[in-house]
């Protein structure tokens, strides 16, 4: 047949594989543009996890031990030796006032001295700070005793106790919070992203239309997955930058976060496809995604150290890809363990992704797309 507007030969790509990669790239470009222009996606995926990190790190404290507030009842000569950085001193008129302040939680300890007898009252309300105050005050008293003894008998050797926290990562919330929040961020963008996309495809029949082009539906799905993986990497880079600004120290193995994040994303995308297959509308998909990611975040130690969770929670979380991603990231990024140490986690995520993808494939109603 003859057609009035022939396609110019120089515009026609001839080889099938050339055509396929051209189609793939143009779809990646179109979908990436779609993603970037959807501001809610940008906020949700790129900004929200960083904001959570900043928020939680400030809630859990900066990692430096807080200073106990100590009330000085009357004249307490032993305090002359105190390091002003260790305590926050205030004066109390008498012991009753001081004890009332302790009971109200307005102070953490009170100290009185009567000649050689130093009495420390410490708070049960603020048990941690109270004990911290007690510890430091006892050290102060010991210190004073040592000084007195050394002066009295300079030849007698004394033992001096120096203490320092050996495992300083346990002191800094950013070190254990960052991998958890990153795992959570990867999870929500994977699950919400895939579920939302499936529902969108059901609504506007874009996939159906693309099936009628020479590019296969497979090319389109591959392009969509590629965009999700790229987003996950961008999200990881941005998040780690924020975490470093908040005091996270990256290990030399940090680069291994890349395959971990990609595997995790695959697992979360598979979950999202299952949910998107069930949901009928956008809000429905978001609701289902929340129902899955929220409890998962809680059992996976996304927002607090999993070790402090009840044992049944820890048991449940064995099935959560978010926990495995969290722990694997913790190991390589924070603790600097080699990739070999996280192979079990990586293997779990791969297996999980494969099984859920199979489930999605078997249960999906392709007719609706």
Partner 1 sequence: MEAAIEVTDLQKTYRGRKTGEVRAVDGVSFRVETGEFFGILGPNGAGKTTTMEIVEGLRRPDSGQVRLLGRSPWPHSPELSRRMGAQLQSSSFFEFLTAREQIETFAELYGVGRRRAAEMLDKVGLSHKASTRCLKLSGGQQQRLSIACAIVGDPELVFLDEPTAALDPQARRNLWDLMRSINAEGRTVVLTTHYMEEAEALCDRVAIMDAGKILAVGSPAELISELDAPTRITVAVGQLSDERVEELAGGETVSVGEETVVFETHEPRRLLAALAAEGAMEGLAVRTANLEDVFLHVTGREWRA
* CA pair distance 350, 358, nearest whole angstrom: 12
Q: Is the dihedral of CA 52, 55, 57, 60 positive or negative?
A: negative
Is 280 a binding residue for partner 1 by CB under 8 A? The answer is no
Q: How far apart are the first and last CA of the chain?
A: 34
Q: Can residue 33 be called a binding residue for partner 1 (CB under 8 A)?
A: yes
Q: Distance between CA 159 and CA 138 in Å, rounded?
A: 15
Which residue number, 230 or 309, has a Cβ lying nearer to partner 1?
A: 230
Q: Which is nearer to partner 1, 5 or 311 (CB)?
A: 5
d(CA 112, CA 76): 6
Binding segment for partner 1 (CB under 8 A), chosen from 34-42, 73-81, 185-193, 322-330, is 34-42
- Residue in 234, 238, 283 with CA at minimum distance from that of residue 53: 238
249 contributes a contact to partner 1 by CB under 8 A:
no
The answer to whether 302 touches 179, Cβ cutoff 8 Å, is: no
Q: Which is nearer to partner 1, 207 or 297 (CB)?
A: 207
Sole residue written with tokens 């009330």: 71
The neighbouring-strand residues paired with 71 are: 90, 110
Query: Is 215 an interacting residue with respect to partner 1 (CB under 8 A)?
Result: yes
Residues in the chain, overall count: 369
Local structure of residue 107 (DSSP, 8 states): -
Residue choice 4, 159, 161, 340 for contact with partner 1 (CB under 8 A): 4
Minimum CB–partner distance for residue 201 and partner 1 (Å):
9
Binding of partner 1 at residue 19 (CB under 8 A)? Answer: yes
Min dist CB 5 to partner 1, Å, is 7
29/81 with CB nearer partner 1: 29
Measured from the CB atom, the residue of 7 and 159 that comes closer to partner 1 is 7
Helical ranges in the chain per DSSP H:
16-37, 39-42, 48-60, 95-104, 127-152, 173-204, 206-211, 217-245, 257-278, 282-299, 311-316, 321-329, 343-363
Rule CB under 8 A: choose which of 58, 128, 150, 216 binds partner 1.
Answer: 216
* Residue 209 touches partner 1, criterion: CB under 8 A: yes
Q: Is 250 left (phi over 0), alpha (psi -120 to 50) or beta?
A: beta
Cβ of residue 313: shortest distance to partner 1, in angstroms?
Answer: 37
At residue 188, the 3 state secondary structure works out as helix
Alpha carbons 240 and 258: distance in angstroms, whole number? 12
Binding-site size for partner 1 (CB under 8 A) equals 40
In this structure, the strands spanning 88-92 and 69-73 are: parallel
Tell whether residue 285 is a contact of partner 1 (CB under 8 A).
Answer: no
Place of tokens 């008129």: 93
- 360 near 269, Cβ under 8 Å? no
The answer to the question of residue 225 lying near partner 1 (CB under 8 A) is no
Say whether residue 27 binds partner 1 (CB under 8 A).
yes
2 binds partner 1 (CB under 8 A): yes
Closest CB 23 distance from partner 1, rounded Å: 5
Of 56, 118, 210, 297, the residue at the interface with partner 1 (CB under 8 A) is 210
Q: Write the interaction track for partner 1 spanning residues 175-204; mark x where CB under 8 A is met and - where it is not.
A: -------------------------x--xx
Q: What residues make contact with partner 1 under the rule CB under 8 A?
A: 1-8, 11-13, 16, 19, 22-23, 25-27, 29-31, 33-34, 37-38, 200, 203-206, 208-216, 367
């Amino acid at each position: 047949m003859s057609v009035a507007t022939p396609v110019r030969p120089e515009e026609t790509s001839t080889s099938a594989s050339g055509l396929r990669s051209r189609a793939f790239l143009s779809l990646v470009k179109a979908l990436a543009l779609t993603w970037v222009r959807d501001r809610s996606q940008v906020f949700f995926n790129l900004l929200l996890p960083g904001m959570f990190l900043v928020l939680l790190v400030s809630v859990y404290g900066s990692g430096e031990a807080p200073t106990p507030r100590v009330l000085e009842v009357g004249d307490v000569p032993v305090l002359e030796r105190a390091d002003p950085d260790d305590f926050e001193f205030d004066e109390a008129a008498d012991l009753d006032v001081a004890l009332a302040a302790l009971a109200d939680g307005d102070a953490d300890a009170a100290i009185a001295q009567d000649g050689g007898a130093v009495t420390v009252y410490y708070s049960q309300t603020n048990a941690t700070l109270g004990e911290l105050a007690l510890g430091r005050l006892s050290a102060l008293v010991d210190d004073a005793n040592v000084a007195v003894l050394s002066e009295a008998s300079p030849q007698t050797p004394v033992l001096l106790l120096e203490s320092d926290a050996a495992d300083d990562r346990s002191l800094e919330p950013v070190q254990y919070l960052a991998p958890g929040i990153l795992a959570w961020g990867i999870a929500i963008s994977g699950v919400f992203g895939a579920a939302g996309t499936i529902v969108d495809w059901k609504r506007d029949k874009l996939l159906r239309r693309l099936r009628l082009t020479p590019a296969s539906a497979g090319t389109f799905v591959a392009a969509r997955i590629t965009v999700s993986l790229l987003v996950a990497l961008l999200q990881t880079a941005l998040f780690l930058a924020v975490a470093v600004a908040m005091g996270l120290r990256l290990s030399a193995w940090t680069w291994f976060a890349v395959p971990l994040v990609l595997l995790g994303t695959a697992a979360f995308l598979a979950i999202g496809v299952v949910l998107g297959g069930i949901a009928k509308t956008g809000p429905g998909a978001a609701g289902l995604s929340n129902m899955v990611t929220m409890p998962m975040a809680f059992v996976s130690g996304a927002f607090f150290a999993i070790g402090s969770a009840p044992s049944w929670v820890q048991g449940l979380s064995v099935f959560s890809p978010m926990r495995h991603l969290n722990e694997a990231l913790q190991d390589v990024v924070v603790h600097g363990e080699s990739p070999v140490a996280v192979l079990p986690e990586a293997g779990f995520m791969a297996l999980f992704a494969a099984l859920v993808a199979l489930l999605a494939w078997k249960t999906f109603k392709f007719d609706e797309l």
